[in-house]
Structure 1
Amino acid sequence: MREQVRRTAAAAAAMLLAAAVAGCAGGQRQAVETSGAVSANDAAHAPLAGEQGLAAQSGESDPAAPSGESVGGAAASAPSGTSDAVDTEAAGRPGDAELLQQIAGMTLEARIGQLIVAGVDGTSADAGAKRMIREQHVGGVIFYKDNLASAESVIRYVNQLKAWNADGAAPLLLSVDQEGGKVSRLPALKKLPNAGVIGDTGDAALAEDVGEILARACAELGLNVDFAPVLDINSNPANPVIGARAFGSGEQVVTEMGLATMKGIRSQGVIPVVKHFPGHGDTAVDSHLDLPVVNKGLDQLKAFEWKPFEAAIREGAGAVMVAHILFPKIDPDYPASLSKTIVTEQLRGMLGFKGVVITDDLTMGAIADHYGIGEAAVLSVKAGADLVLIAHKYGNVDKAIAALASSVKQGVLTEARLNESVLRVLRLKADGKLSDEAIGSPQLAPVNEAIAEVLAQAARP
C-alpha cells in the first residue's frame, strides 16, 4: 500500500510538472511593465506564470461571497493536488520538481496548513499548539513577548514545537517581531535603538550591524524569521503606530538603512520580512485598532512609499508583509492585505515580486472589526497572499482553516491558486535551509556585547 501511494504521488507530480511546462509553452503570461524593478529578485525567485491572471483563475465568484464562518468541518484527507496544476514556468528553480512531487502527495489539510502562521499561548508548548501542528499541519508560528519569559523557556518551547513537527511536510517558520527599540520581544537582551535613531546616524554600516545582531539574537533562540525591517516612510507626524520604528521621513534614508538592515539579517541565516507594503507611514490610525484610510493614488505611491520596497525586491527580498490599509483611489472595496489589485497586480505585477506575501495579523481591529476571520483568510489568499498571519486565539486558526478548505471544495479558491502559494512557501523554507533539529543552550552574552557597541556608536555626536 505504501509503495502504491508513493507511485501515485510520483505520477501526480509528473502530471503537475508536465502541465506547468505546457502552460509556459502556451505563452499565457500577461505582459506587465516593471520599470526595471526586477534583477536580483529574478535570480532569487523563479516567476510563476500567469500571476497577473491569478484572480481570474482563483475565483470567478464574487470575492465577498465566501465568509466560511458558517461552514464547519475539515476537508477530506485524500490528496487532491492533481486536480489542478501548479502554474509555474518551464524554466523553473532547481528543486521545483521535488517540491511539486511533495505537493502532489500532500492532503488538502496539509497544504492549507502551510499557509498559516499562528500565534501560540503561554510560555510553554500546550495542547492547542500541539493540535495545530500535528492535526492542522500549521506551517509557522509567531511568538510575542508574553510567550518569551526567559531564554531557556524559549528554547524548550521551540524544541517541543519542532519535535511535534517531525513528520510535517516542511520545517516550521518560527517567527517574531524583533525590530529593536520599541518593538523588542526577545528576553535577556539589551534593547537596540529605535530605527529612527539608526537612520539619524546616516551610517548604513551601522544599520547592517543592527540587522546582524537582530538575526543573531533570533537564531540563538531558535527563531528563523524576523518581521523586520520596517520599510515604511514616517511622513505623517500624527502617525500613532510607526513613528520611530521607521528609519526616517524620506525615501532615501529609509531605503538605504532598510536594505542594509535586511542584508544584515540575511547574513545570519534568518529570513527577513520587509513591511508594511504599500506603506504605513502616512496613516493617522493604528491598524491594530481600526482600518486606516490613505487617499493616495498609484502615482503618489510609486513616487514615494513604494521606493524602499522596490529597492528591496531588486535586492532579492524573499518575503513581504502587506498592511491593513484602505487606499480608496486604488481599491475602494478592500484594504491592501485583501486586495487583488494591490497584491497581485501591483506588488507581483508592477514590482515583479516573486517571493512570499504574508498578511499582517488578521486579528487586528482593522480586519477583525470589519470581516470574519475566515472571510478575511479566503479573501487574502484570493488576492495573492501566500501566508495568513493569525496571531491570537486557536479558535481563529480553526475558522481560517475551515473557510479555506470550504472555499477550495466549492471552487471559490482553485487548487492551482492554493498550490502556487504552497510552492512559494516551500521554496522559502528550502532557500532558508530551515530545520526542525533541536537546538542547544543560547549564547546571548556575545550578542549583548555587540548591542552595547551599537548603543555606543548611535550615541556619538
Structure 2
Amino acid sequence: MMIRSWWALPVVVLALVGPPAPVVSRPPATSTVSSPAGTFPACVTAAVETMSLEEQVGQTLMVGVPLHSPQGIGGLVAGYHLGGVFLSGRSTRSSAGLRADITALQRTAKVPLLVSVDQEGGSVQALQGTDFPDIPAATTLGAGPPDELRRTVRDSADRLAGIGVTVNLAPVADTVPSGTDDRNPPIGAFRRQYDSDPIKVAEDIRTVVAASQGAGVLTILKHFPGLGRVRANTDTSTRAVDRTATVDDPYLDPFRAGMRQDSAGVMISLATYPRIDPASIAAFSRPIVTGLLRERYAFTGLIMSDDLGAADAVESVPTGDRAVRFLDAGGDLALTIRPQNVGPMVAALLAAARTSPVFAARVTDAASHVLAAKHRAGLLRC
C-alpha cells in the first residue's frame, strides 16, 4: 500500500496531528447554498482552492470500515481522497490496538480523516470491553442528575479521543412522546431518547455537546428533523413518516439547543415529513436541509446524512444519485456503510459537477464544511 505524502501548500500547511489530548437521479438544482462570510478559517479556504475536483468530491464522502480491521480500507481512502471513515460493527478490542490501526489508516490519507463511531450508550455502543465500559442508555442518563450525565459523556469522549476518534455520531436529539416507546422502532424501542419532553431533552443535549466537545470529540446531532414519532425504521422500511412535524415543531428545540451549544454537526434523517416537504425524504429535501436547517436556523456547521448505503429508505434510488441528491439538497458529508458504494457515488458526483457549474460550486462548499470540521477537530493546522 502506497503511503501518501502530506500536502505542501503555498500559504498553509495541512498536517496530521494526533487526536486532541483526553483533557483537552435527479438533475442538480439551479441554485446553491452559500456559507455566511467568515464561516471558514483562512487556511480551510486556501486548502480547498488548491484541491482538484476529484479531491473535493472525495472529501464529501464518509465510508464504513469494520472495527476489526480499519486499516484494510487504506487503498480506498487514498484512491478516492475520502473525507472520513465510520468505524462500523461492535468490538471489544483494546484501546492500544484500535489506536494503532486508526493511526495506520490516517497515514494512507492525503488529507487527515474524520474518524467517527456510534458510541451513544445502551444498545448503541460500538466500542465495548475493558477499555470501554458500558454506557447507560439515554433514558437512564436523562432520568439522572446532569452532573452524572456530564461525567459519563466526558469519560467516554476521553476514551474515544485517546484512540484517535474525532467524531461521535451522537447525541440523539429525537423526542419520543410519552407512552409510545415500543411503537417507535428506531429510537423509543431502544431507549435512545433522553426524555419525552423536548424541553428536558434540550437541556440534556446541551450537557452532552459541551462535555463531548470539551474532551475533543465532535458531536453530531441526530436525526434531524426528528425520528421520535415515526412508526418504522428507515434502515428496514420505506414507510418512516412523521405527519406531525412542521417548521415550528417544539420537537425541533433539542436540535436548536445543540446548535446553540455549538455542536459541530447535524445528521439528516431518511424519514419523510410531508408538512415540511411532501416530495422527498429529509436527506434529499432542499426545504429541510437548506430552507430549515441552513437558512431558518442559520446553522453553519457540518451537515451529514444518515446511512445512504444499506438503508431500505433509499434502496429505490441509484447508488450514485443518493450522494448527488444529498449534496444538491444542501448536505456536506454523505455517509455510506458500504465501501463498494464509493465508486458509483464519486462517479455520479463528478458527472454532476462537470455538467453544472452551480453543482460544482456546491461541491466546493460541501468540501469546505468538511475541512472546517477537520480544522476544528485539530486535524488541520494553519
TM-score by length of 1: 0.71
Partner of 1:75: none
Partner of 1:214: 156
1:152 lines up with 2:67 in the alignment: no
Per-residue CA deviations over 1:142-163 (Å, capped at 9, x if unaligned) read: 0023466443331222011111
Give the letter for the 1:178 counterpart: Q
Give the letter for the 2:195 counterpart: G
Runs (5+) with no aligned partner, structure 1: 1-5, 11-53, 59-85, 437-461
Which of 119, 138, 141 matches 1:178? 119
Q: 2-side partners of 1:346 and 1:284: how far apart?
A: 23
Give the letter for the 1:216 counterpart: D
Which of 133, 136, 141 matches 2:77? 133
Change (3 A) 1:173 1:112: same
Change (3 A) 1:88 1:381: closer
TM-superposed deviation, 1:111: 0.5
Per-residue CA deviations over 1:349-384 (Å, capped at 9, x if unaligned) read: 111111110000102434342212211110000000
Q: 2-side partners of 1:407 and 1:224: how far apart?
A: 30
Partner of 2:106: 162
Partner of 2:135: 192
Partner of 1:242: 187
Does the 8 A contact of 1:287 with 1:364 survive in 2? no
Change (3 A) 1:336 1:247: same
TM-superposed deviation, 1:303: 3.2
Q: 2-side partners of 1:115 and 1:406: how far apart?
A: 15
Change (3 A) 1:219 1:57: same
1:254 lines up with 2:195 in the alignment: no
Per-residue CA deviations over 1:94-153 (Å, capped at 9, x if unaligned) read: 732x322221211111101111110124622455x1222111000100002346644333
Per-residue CA deviations over 1:195-231 (Å, capped at 9, x if unaligned) read: 1001112x22222212212211211221110011110
Q: 2-side partners of 1:113 and 1:147: how far apart?
A: 27
Q: 2-side partners of 1:122 and 1:303: how far apart?
A: 38
SS at match of 1:141: strand
Q: 2-side partners of 1:339 and 1:315: how far apart?
A: 25
1:350 lines up with 2:291 in the alignment: no
Partner of 1:57: 31
Partner of 2:354: 409
Percent identity over paired residues:
28
1:367 lines up with 2:313 in the alignment: yes
Change (3 A) 1:184 1:298: same
Does the 8 A contact of 1:124 with 1:147 survive in 2? no
SS at match of 2:277: coil
Q: 1-side partners of 2:121 and 2:203: how far apart?
A: 17
Which of 271, 274, 288 matches 1:328? 274
SS at match of 2:267: strand
Partner of 1:120: 65
Partner of 2:323: 377
Change (3 A) 1:124 1:193: same
Partner of 2:23: none
SS at match of 2:119: coil
SS at match of 1:334: strand
Structure showing greater radius of gyration is 1
Is the strand fraction higher in 1 or 2? Answer: 2
Partner of 2:221: 274
Structure 1 runs (4+) deviating above 4 angstroms are 86-89
Change (3 A) 1:279 1:87: closer
Per-residue CA deviations over 1:276-301 (Å, capped at 9, x if unaligned) read: 100111111011101301112425xx
Runs (5+) with no aligned partner, structure 2: 1-7, 12-27
Partner of 1:76: none
SS at match of 1:332: strand
Change (3 A) 1:372 1:148: farther
Aligned length: 350
Per-residue CA deviations over 1:317-348 (Å, capped at 9, x if unaligned) read: 22000101111222122100110010000011
TM-superposed deviation, 1:415: 2.0
